[in-house]
Amino acid sequence: MAAWERAAYAKLNLTLDVLGRREDGYHDLRMVMQTVSLTDRLTIETGGEPGVRVRTDLAFLPADGGNLAAAAARRYWEATGRTPEGLTIRIDKRIPVCAGLAGGSSDAAAVLRWMSEYYGDGLSRAELAEIGQTVGSDVPYCVLGGTALAEGRGEVLTPLPALPACWFVLCKPPFPVSTPELFRAVDGAKLRCHPDTRGMLDALKRQDLPGVAQRLYNVFEDVLPPRKRAAVAEIRSQLLEHGALGACMSGTGPTVFGMFRDEAGARQAERALRGQWPETWAVQNICP
Ligand code: C5P
């Protein structure tokens, strides 16, 4: 048996806008995305019975069929016409699950990239993203990584000037948020505000970190149930109080992140928030 190790990176939404509901039931989105240094660790082994097996260190996560990493492997075999062989994917989960950080999608993207390399197929990022979109809406972005604009369902990607080096403090409050429910809530709501996506793109072009921080915005915050919304607002205030340049929820939450100029500021805020919110991490932006 041979084994390979891969890291799968979390993402943040610097902006997230919902433009409308589509005929296929999904929504058209416009989002500025960023990769950060919080990772899952994947160990992929070949051999054994044909088919894919997934093992994780979290008992409640779907193994095998329901896991996005397994779905990615199967879609890869289907798309390339290759015969499935035995694969065991062990995932050491460090990215919190159902937290708005694309942990599952990132695992799937790491598997797709590894498969193209392992089989020597040399598929481009665009070809891998096309396979990835059948696994989940965030997978194409996770295949690309870095700073990017994601539109359509999430699969129409435009690479952007890399976010200048900075730090983030991620803070996940201890309650779940249902992604389909939040999308339904957006359908029933008249959104008061939308992110200034154009201004965000200009700030990235100017490499203006405070300009980016001022424009962090996610429309889903407005449609959270009241108590969850209050917790998110509380975390944002705490991050700003501890020196964040700006703060916002990621994806459909509930993780809230603050942006910091340097590690010292981020570590100080991480220590300050951890007492009340144990799931708090200081991380860096990553530009692959
Ligand atoms: O594509 P994925 O399986 O990650 O999407 C999860 C859910 O999020 C979908 O079932 C849908 O309710 C919602 N969604 C959406 N529009 C998108 C992406 C996701 O409505 N662009």
Does residue 176 carry a pLDDT above 70?
yes
Is there a single domain that holds both residue 278 and residue 148?
no
Q: Could you give the CA distance from residue 246 to residue 30 in angstroms, rounded to a whole number? A: 20
| Number of domains making up the chain | 2
Q: Domain residues for 144?
A: 3-159
- Helix segments in 53-144, DSSP class H: 68-80, 103-118, 125-132, 139-144
Decide: 134 in ligand 1 pocket, CB within 6 A: no
Atom of ligand 1 nearest to the CA of 183: 20
Q: What's the whole-model pTM score? A: 0.96
Does residue 287 carry a pLDDT above 90?
no
Q: How confident is the model at residue 57 (pLDDT cuts 50, 70, 90)?
A: confident
Is there a single domain that holds both residue 37 and residue 135?
yes
Is there a single domain that holds both residue 9 and residue 141?
yes
Is there a single domain that holds both residue 148 and residue 193?
no
Residues 6+ apart with CB under 8 A from 49: 86
Predicted pLDDT at 105:
98
pLDDT tens sequence across 26-47: 999 999 999 999 999 999 999 9
Which domain CATH number covers 79? 3.30.230.10
pLDDT tens sequence across 119-157: 999 999 999 999 999 999 999 999 999 999 999 999 999
What's the mean per-residue pLDDT of the chain?
96
Is there a single domain that holds both residue 193 and residue 52?
no
Q: Are 277 and 242 in contact (CB under 8 A)?
A: no
Instruction: Look up 202 and say whether it is catalytic.
Output: no
Decide: 20 in ligand 1 pocket, CB within 6 A: no
Is there a single domain that holds both residue 17 and residue 111?
yes
Is there a single domain that holds both residue 153 and residue 172?
no
Instruction: Look up 11 and say whether it is catalytic.
Output: yes
Among protein residues, the one whose CA lies closest to atom 10 of ligand 1: 180
Decide: 132 in ligand 1 pocket, CB within 6 A: no
Does residue 113 carry a pLDDT above 90?
yes
Among protein residues, the one whose CA lies closest to atom 21 of ligand 1: 153
Does residue 64 carry a pLDDT above 70?
no
